[in-house]
Amino acid sequence: MTDNWKEMKNKAKNELEEGRILFKKARRSLTQEQQQQARALFKELAAGIKTKDQKNLGSVLEKYDAFKESHFSQIRFNRAWETIKELFWIILVVFFIRWILVEPFRIPSGSMIPTLLVGDQLMVNKLVYGVQIPLTTKKLFNLKKPERGDVIVFKYPPNPREDYVKRVVGVAGDEITMRDGQLFVNGKEVPRSYVEPYTGPSDTGFCENYDLFSEELDHASHPMLLCHRSHQGEDFPAVRVPEGAVFGMGDNRDNSQDSRYWGMIPTNNIKGKALFIHLPLDPTRHYLPRWNRFFKWIR
């Protein structure tokens, strides 16, 4: 009985799966009464599968077989083709999510330490600034504009095949300058306060000792690193951010190739805003996870 029951149950599952597809194909040719009859048979099959009443399920299968022979016999059904269609829709949904909504991004360098560490993998909101045409830097339409303090992922202007991540410190119309390592926006010193010596993961070999600061852009604070040494004379001449661009810098301020070196970031190059870290891996420990950084929101 057990083998017969398993065989009958599997047949019922296959008939139910196939029947729902056949019903969609034949729906227009069925009367309202026939459609209701088909739905009722599907419910009976689903309920019969959950029970162990072999006699009842056998009776339902007989009724369904008769209905199928009468109303679905002319419908062509190719299981391989149906599977291909399902896979196509799954791929299409994944493509839509990746290119329109969110996309994963891996941090390859230490320019955003301590906000982002080497090995962090983060999710990027691609819809926040507008809908971008896949595989291009053109947008179908724009939504909100990048704001100071946003951590953005963008196509590197000198080589758009590469993706970079930086923090927006200046938007269109802003004047950006640095004097003795201190950032100024529109002639005003960007507030920062010393926190403590930094002892977390860093880009080894560049600087022996770092200091951790809290920097404030538009009343929102974020962590920032400076190498523990004098920055006197380390100036960046004043520049005006043009329309259609932003000025980006790394939070690891002394070890970041950013807009100070290769210029502005065109807003069309921006892929999206960094949301949260979904997979923090530590390359110094054989890519084992950093457990305390899972699903950490980026600010």
Residues tagged active-site: 111, 166
- Angstrom distance (rounded) from CA 47 to CA 203: 61
Comparing C-alpha atoms, which of 129, 144, 173 is closest to residue 269? 129
End-to-end CA distance of the chain: 62
CA-to-CA separations, 69 to 63, 74, 145, 180, 193, in angstroms, rounded = 10, 9, 60, 85, 79
Kindly write down the DSSP assignment for every residue of 198-246, as one continuous string.
E-S---TTT-S-EEEEEEEETTEEEEEEEESS--TT--EEEEEPPTTEE
Q: Distance from CA of residue 63 to its chain's centroid?
A: 48
Burial 209-243 (b: 16+ CB within 10 A, else e): ebbbbebebeeeebbbbbbeeeeeeeebeebebee
How far apart (Å, rounded) are the C-alpha atoms in residues 145 and 168?
11
Say if residues 259 and 146 touch (Cβ distance below 8 Å).
no
Max Cα–Cα distance, the chain, nearest Å: 90
CB 254 within 8 A of CB 227: yes
Name the token pair of 120.
Answer: 């962090």
